[in-house]
Amino acid sequence: MKKMKSLTVEEVDRIIEMAWEDRTPFDAIEAQFGVSEGEVIRIMRNSMKESSFKMWRARVQDRKTKHQKKSSDEIQTFKSRMQRGIALNKISKRQ
């Protein structure tokens, strides 16, 4: 098993928040934190109660907006409206 990248508590919290957001694809999390979809799943599994993890997995499984290759070309952004006020974003808002 590959060793996961060392993350701060703030980064893990932000990854969890982004993973719960409907319109934030796993690709955006990987671009921001260098954490793959599988690693996000592992973080979620280790950070949540089992019932919460199962609910999250059922929610994101095959969701088009969580997988950029599956989402329509109309969706250009990978951040939700809730993300505006969050200062920990590492991606410039002027891309």
Domain membership of residue 1 (yes or no) is: no
pLDDT at 78 over 90: no
Domain membership of residue 17 (yes or no) is: yes
32: containing domain: 9-85
pLDDT in tens, 47-66: 999 999 999 998 888 776 66
Residue of higher predicted confidence among 5 and 79: 5
Across 66-82, average pLDDT: 54
Domain membership of residue 4 (yes or no) is: no
Domain membership of residue 78 (yes or no) is: yes
Residues 94, 51: Cα–Cα separation, whole Å: 38
Domain membership of residue 2 (yes or no) is: no
Those residues with Cβ within 8 angstroms of residue 72's Cβ, 6 or more apart along the chain or in another chain: 64
Q: Record the tokens describing residue 65, joined without a space.
A: 């907006």
pLDDT in tens, 15-37: 999 999 888 888 889 999 999 99
Domain membership of residue 51 (yes or no) is: yes
Domain membership of residue 94 (yes or no) is: no
Burial class (CB in 10 A: 0-12, 13-18, 19+), 18: buried
Domain membership of residue 13 (yes or no) is: yes
Q: Into how many domains does the chain fold?
A: 1
